[in-house]
Copies of this chain bind each other. A is one copy, B any other.
Amino acid sequence: MSLLIVGTVAFDAIETPFGKTDKIVGGAASYIALAASYFTKSSQLVSVVGDDFPQEFLNTLKAQGVDLSGLQIKQGQKSFFWSGRYHNDLNSRDTLDTQLNVLADFDPVVPESCREVDFLMLGNLMPIIQQKVLDQLTKRPKLIVLDTMNFWMDTSMDQLLKTLQQVDVLTINDSEARQLSGEYSLVKAAQKILKMGPKVLVIKKGEHGALLFNKDEVFFAPALPLEDVYDPTGAGDSFAGGFIGYLAKTKDISFENMKRAIIFGSAMASFTVERFGTERLIGLAPKDVEERVQEFIDLVQFDISLV
């Protein structure tokens, strides 16, 4: 197994200015696993669902090559549920309802086959659960990427800081980077956060693209200007999935290759937002992904020769 993905597999109900959904499949790990599956067919999922979760979606994941032997299905219990409403600008949202259900006492078990995995993606989850996964590994992965959110900074900062010391790449959004560092300038925020453990920081700015920092370098990838953005849910997770999927495929964790991974991640995110939920990430052809990446190349390519 080359990639282990940990995170929620869940239900969402979403309202955007363009419509609303009933309960549909969501969850960080659903998006991560789908996006990564376009780059590697050797991935495994560690998560938990209730017996209300649709087998059809699990079959889709399997068909995409995702190993589900680390997915716990809790009989008589319900899957995690989140409901939210996006504001007109789609850049902010209100949480309408959160039902932890199976997530309340989730105890992740990393299958034997994944304890020496090379690439680990810790999707957004309680930091203590992310830590429990790390504690079960028998060999340090080549690369550990962790995604988190403001909620855990508000409620679990100590554990988060402890876990952060053990990861290689942190992905958060701009306001979270400001919260975590106490710095408004993203450049200063990055400098501080890179002293907390991660050697690389990705700051996701939604429709405004993403920044990649290490101690000495910075890289910027735009988001693709789209005619219609229906639903931003899962964009950050799809981004993370494309990012680590590409790294797991190429087995190259240099900064130069992470730049490419950011572009592939951005491409996957650009698909996700074109439909509600995970719909757009299912059944893409390799050609679709390549064409989308070409659009990113065309978008930012310029030719200046300085003397």
Contacts and interface: CB of A to CB of B under 8 A. Distances in A.
Interface of A: 17, 88-89, 184-188, 205, 208-209, 211, 217-222, 225-229, 256, 259-260, 262-263, 290, 293-294, 297-300, 302-304, 306-307
Contacts of A263: 302, 304
Contacts of A302: 219, 221, 256, 259-260, 262-263
A297 B304 contact: yes
Copies of this chain present: 2
A259 to B, nearest CB: 4
A182 to B, nearest CB: 14
Given A218-B299, A300-B300, A187 B226 contact: yes
B303 A256 contact: yes
A112 B187 CA distance: 49
Contact of A219 (B188, B211, B259, B299): B299
A185 B228 contact: yes
Given A88-B184, A209-B209, A293-B304, 18 more contacts: A185-B228, A186-B225, A187-B227, A209-B222, A211-B225, A218-B225, A218-B299, A219-B299, A220-B299, A221-B302, A222-B222, A256-B302, A260-B304, A263-B304, A290-B307, A297-B304, A297-B306, A300-B300
B208 A260 contact: no
Contacts of A89: 184
Nearest to A302: B259
Contacts of A297: 304, 306
28 contacts: A17-B184, A89-B184, A185-B226, A185-B227, A186-B225, A187-B227, A208-B209, A209-B209, A209-B222, A218-B225, A218-B299, A219-B300, A219-B302, A220-B222, A220-B299, A256-B302, A256-B303, A259-B302, A259-B303, A260-B302, A260-B304, A262-B302, A263-B302, A290-B306, A290-B307, A293-B306, A294-B306, A297-B306
A237 to B, nearest CB: 22
Nearest to A89: B184
Given A220-B300, A256-B303, A229 B294 contact: no
